[in-house]
Amino acid sequence: MDISVVIPLFNEEESLPELYAWIERVMQANGFSFEVIFVNDGSTDRSWEVIEELKTQSEHVRGIKFRRNYGKSPALYCGFAEAQ
C-alpha cells in the first residue's frame, strides 16, 4: 500500500462522492496503490449510507462509524490505527 488517506467527517454526505472521485483520479493518475478510510464521527445525516455505497463501488474504500461525535483527534487516531 503506497498511500492511506484518513478522512474524519461529520455531516458531509453531499461532499463525499466528489471527494472520493477526486482522490481516486489523483491516485490512479500517479499509479499509487491506496486506501481511503472515512471515519464517520457521529454524523446525523446520511454520511454513513454514502460511505457504505462507496464501499460497494470500490475496494479502496473503508469506513469506521462512531455512535456519537468524539472529535477530530479520536477519529484520526482510529483511522491511523486501521491504516495498512
Q: What would the pLDDT profile of 31-43 be if each residue is shown by its tens digit?
A: 999 999 999 999 9
Q: What would the pLDDT profile of 7-62 be if each residue is shown by its tens digit?
A: 999 999 999 999 999 999 999 999 999 999 999 999 999 999 999 999 999 999 99
Domain parsing of the chain, residue ranges: 3-82
Q: In sequence order, which residues have a C-beta less than 8 Å from that of residue 43 and are 6 or more positions away?
A: 9, 10, 11, 12, 13
Q: What would the pLDDT profile of 59-79 be if each residue is shown by its tens digit?
A: 999 999 999 999 999 999 999
84: cell is 495498512
* pLDDT at residue 1, rounded to an integer: 85
Query: Per-residue b/e over 6-41, b at no fewer than 16 CB within 10 Å?
Result: bbbbbebbeebeebbeebbeebeeeeeebbbbbbbb
Q: Which CATH class is domain 3-82?
A: alpha beta
Angle at 35 between CA 12 and CA 58, to 5 degrees: 75
Locate cell 445525516: which residue? 45
